[in-house]
Structure 1
Amino acid sequence: MAMIGERADLKVVREQPFGIFLDGGDLGEILLPRREMPVKWSIGEPVDVFLYRDSEDRPVATLKEPKVKPGQFAYLEVLQITNVGAFLDWGLPKDLLVPFREQKDRLEIGKSYVVYCYVDEDTGRIVATRRLSRHLDQTRAPYREGDEVDLLLYGKTELGYKAIINGRHTGLLFANQVFRRLRAGERTKGYVALIRDDGKIDLSLDAPGRERISSLEAKILHELEGRGGWWELHDDTPAEEIHRALGVSKRAFKQATGALFRQRKIRIEPGGLRLL
């Protein structure tokens, strides 16, 4: 069944100078504008489209995939502000509205924000909101400590960085355990470090346990061998540079190099690492 905010395979029913009309079932015939039409199409054959509403609130189809769909969170740029709210770039001809009532603070043109996209029950329009907490799952998360998860960073507190976990729950990356620069809207892999008695989730950017360190040790040794036994990476190297080189935090790097030193496989010198 064709629904606003979803993709559907809809049959072509007729052509007009300005596009082709698709069978939208209960939504009626839906226009796929000529600028959006596929190279090949035939009457009676289906076309895969995304459905939304145009500026006159009529159902309209597009071949494009929007940057966010109803039920999802995304980091989008504000393109304009009018008397009804802020409009975001979500990759479609009609920009995505964040009504003023859905803004915790006034948004600014040119800046990007994490928003939640949904279909308004009263109007049937696809809109977005900055009031994220009401759309996060408040039930106890089914994760286990050590689980790898997808994170979307959306805010910062005195304790650290707030992150949306797998598009459903929320958790916290403690600032004293983050060794690279993070920003709102960044997507990254993370790990569940702890699930507290009250259900709150502590997160980490590093995989837990000895397995993670062993893997990193092997990677460092491989790099040293490929570099002729010397690598200008050491304890005083900035955390951002370590993360670019190895994809890990400075803390994990120091744990791995310390283990290799104790195994007498490397020597840690003032300017870098030397293979033994």
Structure 2
Amino acid sequence: MNQKQFSLAGLGLGLLLLAGCSSQGAITPQSSGLWNHYFVYPISYVITEISSWCGDNYGIGIIVMTLLIRLVLAPLAVYLNDNSVKMRELQPQLKKLREQYGANDREAQQKMTQEMTRLYRENGVHPMMGCLPAVIQMFILMALYNAIVRTKVIAAHSFLWFSLGQVDPLHVLPVLAALATFLQYAAISKASHTGDNPAMQQQMKVMKYVMPVFIFFTAFHLAAAIGLYWVVGNTWMALQALYMERRRQRLAAAAVAAPEI
């Protein structure tokens, strides 16, 4: 399973678990269990506190919470972006290894895996790190959904034209969430430089069109607050991808301009 498939599978699994996890009753400081105490309640508490500072506006509280989550994850995003750049730089060497050990016998495959592992280790690359965002997003989404629907004051609050704990009656948020997701993957695709790798280019193209549809139909059926989270969070991710690309260009330009010693 490649990283893109893992992302879809991870999100799909998380969303399938949302309904089951949200049937455990109201979330309070007395809620027991590891999941409730260390994941759901902290998010509920932070949203409630932020909202109280904003005149009990829980929509603003969710927006601020979303931005805080993205800020906390920003250093990880930088690391993953640098890891992705290193992976692209290693593609020619990886291609040579595949050609060298292209035989189907088990011994050749084991030798190729060993050589790839050595190459990754020597260059400080972690090929499976690209799956980490999907795992983190799955847990955050599950905890956020539970915090919203199981905290009565949040679920009952209205923001703009929708109730946070109910499906958007106008279905505007699913459209905006899908659009934000498309912009996110378009920006990532632009920054990924997959032109020299047709397989990766095709994968990114598929994700750019599949994920917005996936997000649209999911947001269509979930509480409007999740759509709000995706609109804000995925817009942030699109801007972040553009920033990462500019950062990469600056670093590349600085490396070219640096005088040789």
Structure in which a larger fraction of residues adopt strand: 1
Give the number of the structure whose alpha-carbon radius of gyration is greater.
1
Per the shorter chain, which TM-score range?
A: under 0.3
> How does the TM-score come out when normalised to structure 1?
0.20
> How does the TM-score come out when normalised to structure 2?
0.21
Higher RCO structure, 1 or 2 (CA under 8 Å, sep 6+):
2
